[in-house]
Amino acid sequence: MIVHIENVLDKDQLARCREAMQRAAWVDGRVTAGHQSRQVKNNLQLPEGGAEHQELGVMILRALHRSPLFISAALPHTVFPPLFNRYESGMGFGLHVDNAIRQSADGGVRIRTDISATLFLSDPDEYDGGELIIEDTYGNHSVKLPAGDLIVYPADSRHEVAPITRGGRVASFFWIQSLIPDKTRRSILFELDAAIIQLTRDVPGNPALVSLTATYHNLLRQWSEV
């Protein structure tokens, strides 16, 4: 399930991100890569634990928890502290799969990666190339979103970032351990929640909404790992 979530960050928050990143000291992005990913990864990254990383990470985590669509799609148990990368001309990240387990540099957070997420911090007209390409059973999906928009997708998906041919691309990336580890069940709950929201708008007060809401929460109760 690939979900596009619009306007996670507003213009003021994006401006703050740009300001902080302009003064930051970037390092080789392979610092967080696994053995296989290290061979195909070519980008820059903000060091974990730095002032900019911590400030912007807190901003993003707060924004995520204010997003009903993110909560519905991810059903988050734990969100990994957001990381930040930069791709300049000639840089890219070849086809890879994210590690199943991620641990923060300070050891304070350790999660199973059920969902991967990329929050775009550069607008599409600022660079050529740089598309996030996600593989699934229906083929390849090329993703290049406005600044402030988020894409979430199953962490077991093979994916890549196409090489940059002009300009630069800055983004935040992170992972989510969901209350619902099984992606099929997570998709069912997402679709059921969306249907309940739509019916609430279209036929408010319909008695069937109580039954549907009860079904949603009973499935969540049965399937969740807390």
Residues within the annotated binding site for Fe cation? 96, 98, 159
Q: Tokens 């390092």 label which residue?
A: 27
Distance, C-alpha 195 to centroid of its chain: 23
Determine how β-strand 115-120 pairs with β-strand 150-154.
antiparallel
Residues at the binding site are: 96, 98, 159, 169
Q: How far apart are the first and last CA of the chain?
A: 22
Measure the CA–CA gap between 124 and 80, rounded to whole angstroms: 26
Any idea what DSSP says for residue 137? T
Q: Name the amino acid, one letter, at 159.
A: H
Output the CA–CA distances (angstroms, integers) from residue 73 to 14, 190, 194, 204, in the order listed.
23, 6, 10, 23
Q: Tokens 């001309």 label which residue?
A: 89
Measure the CA–CA gap between 213 and 196, rounded to whole angstroms: 7
Distance, C-alpha 136 to centroid of its chain: 17
Residues at the binding site for 2-oxoglutarate are: 169
Closest by CA to 33, choosing from 90, 98, 87, 92, is 98
